[in-house]
Structure 1
Amino acid sequence: MSTIVQALGDGAVVAKRNLIKIKRVPDLLVFSTLSPIMFVLLFAYVFGGSIQIPGMDYREFLMAGIFAQTVVFGATITGSGLADDIQKGVIDRFRSLPMARSAVLIGRTTSDLLNNVIVIVVMSATGLLVGWRIHSSFLEALAGFALLLLFAYALSWGMAIVGLMVRSPEVFNNASFIAIFPLTFIANTFVQQDNLPTPLRVFAEWNPVSAVTAAARELFGNTNPLFPKPDVWSLQHPVLTTLIWVVVFLVVFVPLAIRQYRKAVSR
């Protein structure tokens, strides 16, 4: 028990260090916020007129997908930050301190979770300006935001593994985009998965990003009761599916990330 408490305490110190870094280099937060705002405006005003969602405003259909895409991209900050710390020798200095080995990873993922909170708040304001509305209760909406952040936190541990394996932040950015772009675009984020070719539709139906997007739409009340119900279990129960993915990610990625951290600091 004392080991867990120590790890959490040390992780809080590392998280504070990362947040101070954002305060001193505000460009990190500015550009991570501007990107999703651009996506909202681009899809709402440029592509929105060409994409028809029967029975509902495309902007209400869109926002859950933008939220999901944004938190997934936000999770990549974890890997990029770790790759940068390794390159600059910061991890080696952490290693010389009497701190838990998992503290660096706990602090990194926690600070990036808080960064995602800020981005979601800004995005919500942007969505309201372009016509998005929440049609569910306050608690359901809060659960929707919490589920998005929980999914991003679990995914950030996977990004941590990649960040600890590569040699530089530039390599990580290239490697992560190869995985992130198919996950966020071959999904129900911007279009209905039923309109995709069969191989892509099957991938989209079981894509974890599709599950969290559908869960957010359901919890925000951005659904159309006239839509035919999905044929697959994952989208019939998107909230439960998302929680299952979160548990799987944490069970698999957390021990692997800690193991990779031990290897990375020794090279």
Structure 2
Amino acid sequence: MSAETQSHSATILIIDDEPVALRAIVAELNGLGFETLIARDGADGLRKAERGSPDLILLDILMPGWDGYETCRRLKADPATRTTPVIFLTALSDTAEKLQGFEAGCVDYITKPFDHREVLARVSAHLQQRHLFARMAEQVEPPGEGQATPAGREHAHPRDADQPGLRLVYRAIDILRDEMADPPSLTALAHRVGTNQARLGREFQTHLGMSTFEYLREQRLVRAQELLATTDLQVQQIADAVGFNRAGDFATAFKLRFGVTPREYRRRHG
């Protein structure tokens, strides 16, 4: 998904006590069609995040009043803003400071001075991810009778649930979740849900915007995140449980997805 495609509905909140320094980024975001909101400190940023419901937040760390870490923690503690991705833009570049940022809840950390093209690329990537997860929540988690949808609405069946292609996706997802540690090949999976590999791949792209493999990988990492926080299983045991043969491969994939290693995540959330 390109920045141009996302810009039709995306709003970016920038929290920085020196917004003039970000003038080039703001101008380019506006030029691409994004709506931008500006806040000069953490308290103002939290208010604007609650009222403006931005799709993504760019946050400085060194600010008067609440610093960026405290602002991010408050954003993540507020039900209205906790799911909004936060990217730190800061001159602080030490590893300990970066880890503190991820611990506070950011999804990315960019150090100054930065190339504005890098910022735009990362904004685009995180908006794309947010868009995909929203589609998954709406279409792939079919609510039962009387179960509320993520938006709080209640209805018996998901939209377009009678579409044959979407039914194939539901069946495949059930199998992948049940057999996550040792999933069938794509050919075998397609056969079990009553189609062929090419069509199943097209249906995943149509309804989720991702491949079957990308969906499985995401579910594995999310399940691993839960196990790290709620069990005493060793990292290798968790890797095995979610389908990674090597703990090193698992740790690399986990850090790419969540910004910290499995052990670091467990220390903070276990």
The answer to whether TM tops 0.5 is: no
After TM superposition, the score normalised by the length of structure 1 is 0.31
Structure ID, larger Rg: 2
Using CA pairs below 8 Å that are at least 6 residues apart, which structure has the higher relative contact order? 1
After TM superposition, the score normalised by the length of structure 2 is 0.31
